[in-house]
């Protein structure tokens, strides 16, 4: 599985703001929005393009557009904070939604919402979720996509734990990961260390 860490200084400064426990919700959401723009920019580097003829005010030339814009799939709740930035860079894209909440005791994801096209053969998908901890949530989401025929999944996240990366890599699914960091480890509550806390709570408040 290909894992790309976006180590650009501007991406790392937004990640630093998100890690800092003193950052309030508004500033956290702003940093996530800006960082997502950079993650999408990096992920889109390999997107196929097509050329088409156009006229500038001076002369005819050729333009470039995405040949096959991806479906965007934010994983609720925390992925919602990445949705607007991704759609801003990819205005041609459609959006699907998956709602997952991790059980506090078993750490397994509980699905409470799913709104995806029935058929995803030939459609690349960008999954948006700030955190890959155990990897259970993203594995569940990516399996939903693969069941619908998707063969090209890119996971965009802010932070990943090595255990989550290993779990995704071992699943045999057609996916790659673009992240701003691979952190040290998980603690006994399956939180990423050093991490940034709970990305859903830090954006939207505790439930
Ligand atoms: C968080 C996070 C991921 C998941 C990661 O969501 O946004 O979806 O946990 O953990 P995993 O890799 O161990 O599955 P959470 O379940 O806290 O829901 P929320 O987005 O509503 O806060």
Per-residue pLDDT tens over the stretch 101-114: 988 899 999 999 99
Q: Which CA distances in Å does 18 have to 28, 30, 40, 191, 202?
A: 5, 9, 18, 15, 9
Parent domain of 86: 3-204
How many C-beta neighbours within 10 Å does residue 108 have? 12
9 Cβ contact partners less than 8 Å away, ≥ 6 residues apart? none
The DSSP secondary-structure symbol of 69 reads: P
Please tell me if the CB atom of residue 204 comes closer than 6 angstroms to any atom of ligand 1: no
- Quick one: pLDDT at residue 180? 98
Check: CB of residue 19 under 8 Å from CB of residue 183.
Answer: no
- Quick one: pLDDT at residue 104? 86
What residue's CA is closest to ligand 1, atom 1? 131
Q: What is the mean pLDDT of the chain?
A: 97
Q: Tell me the CA–centroid distance for residue 63 and ligand 1, in Å.
A: 40
What is the reported pTM?
Answer: 0.96
Atom of ligand 1 nearest to the CA of 164: 12
- Which tens digit of pLDDT belongs to each residue from 159-193? 999 999 999 999 999 999 999 999 999 999 999 99
Q: Is 136 helix (H, G, I), strand (E, B) or coil?
A: helix
Please tell me if the CB atom of residue 131 comes closer than 6 angstroms to any atom of ligand 1: yes
Alpha-carbon distance of 34 to 86, in angstroms, equals 10
Domain tally, the chain: 1
Task: Report ipTM for this prediction.
Answer: 0.97
Atom of ligand 1 nearest to the CA of 108: 14
Instruction: Identify the CATH number of the domain in which residue 150 sits.
Output: 3.40.50.2020
Alpha-carbon distance of 88 to 69, in angstroms, equals 13
Alpha-carbon distance of 131 to 168, in angstroms, equals 13
Instruction: Supply φ then ψ for residue 16, to 5 degrees.
Output: -60, -45
- Quick one: pLDDT at residue 207? 65
């Amino acid at each position: 599985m290909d894992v790309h860490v976006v180590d650009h200084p501007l991406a790392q400064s937004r990640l630093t703001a998100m890690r800092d426990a003193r950052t309030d919700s508004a500033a956290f959401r702003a940093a996530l929005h800006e960082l997502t723009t950079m993650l999408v920019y990096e992920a889109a580097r390999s997107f196929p393009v097509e050329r088409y003829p156009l006229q500038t005010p001076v002369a005819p030339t050729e333009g470039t557009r995405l040949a096959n814009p991806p479906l965007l799939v934010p994983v609720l709740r925390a992925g919602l904070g990445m949705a607007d930035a991704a759609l801003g860079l990819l205005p041609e894209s459609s959006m699907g939604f998956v709602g997952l909440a991790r059980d506090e005791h078993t750490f397994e994801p509980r699905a409470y919402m799913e709104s995806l096209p029935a058929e995803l053969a030939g459609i690349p998908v960008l999954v948006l979720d700030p955190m890959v901890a155990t990897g259970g949530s993203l594995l569940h989401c990516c399996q939903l996509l693969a069941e619908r025929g998707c063969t090209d999944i890119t996971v965009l996240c802010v932070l990943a734990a090595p255990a989550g990366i290993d779990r995704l890599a071992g699943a045999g699914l057609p996916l790659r990961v673009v992240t701003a960091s691979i952190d040290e480890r998980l603690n006994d509550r399956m939180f990423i260390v050093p991490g940034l806390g709970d990305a859903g709570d830090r954006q939207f408040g505790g439930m």
